[in-house]
Chains A and B, each alone.
Chain A
Amino acid sequence: NAGVTQTPKFQVLKTGQSMTLQCAQDMNHEYMSWYRQDPGMGLRLIHYSVGAGITDQGEVPNGYNVSRSTTEDFPLRLLSAAPSQTSVYFCASSWGSTGPKGSPLHFGNGTRLTVT
């Protein structure tokens, strides 16, 4: 059981280049999300999706696009990379939730992105 798979593990981009970070999960989870992690800033939510065809913005969505055409995949697109997007990116998935109880997040291994 693979869980949440992220590719690539490492990427170096030049300013202005575009790329897509891939995320796939095989747990049939409804909820998928992207976070970026920077020193001293914790994990900040970029975009999330509550099902195929449904996405919404998180805390820091600017500069990133997402789409959810299938339950399994949730790619994150950087259209024009900037040095401020240098970070570690994590994809996470979980079941949806009802009521006060949330569902635990399952994280991928992360993508370390450097923009020069």
Chain B
Amino acid sequence: GQQVMQIPQYQHVQEGEDFTTYCNSSTTLSNIQWYKQRPGGHPVFLIQLVKSGEVKKQKRLTFQFGEAKKNSSLHITATQTTDVGTYFCARATSSGGYQKVTFGTGTKLQVIP
């Protein structure tokens, strides 16, 4: 199937260190969405990338979409304890105006104070 693979599965970092999670697809993606899920919570939409080579920033978070639109990354600079959670990438596929969203397996981030 057209799966989206995400690595690493887990990451422990000291507070203040940087963190990166990667999302890879064997097929070209129309878009990539990123979500964050806090422990015990539900996923919350962060951002969507659509264009080849696109880079977007949200404060300490930098999102990139690969030139070939087959991979994406989320980089957090100087992690804080508030960054703890699981980060998911997702692809939205459309057909005739309909949308289906499938998720990567997620990267669980632990930040050690």
Contact = CB atoms under 8 A, between A and B. Distances in A.
B48 A42 contact: no
Interface residues of B, dominant DSSP: strand
B48 A104 contact: yes
B97 interface: yes
Nearest to B6: A42
A50 B99 contact: yes
B9 interface: yes
A80 interface: no
Contacts of B97: 50, 96-98
A45 interface: yes
Interface residues of B, number: 30
Interface residues of A, number: 32
B98 A106 contact: no
15 contacts: A41-B105, A42-B104, A43-B106, A45-B100, A45-B101, A94-B99, A97-B94, A98-B94, A100-B30, A101-B30, A101-B92, A102-B101, A103-B92, A104-B33, A104-B45
Interface of B: 1, 6, 9, 30-31, 33, 35, 41-45, 48, 50, 88, 90-94, 97-106
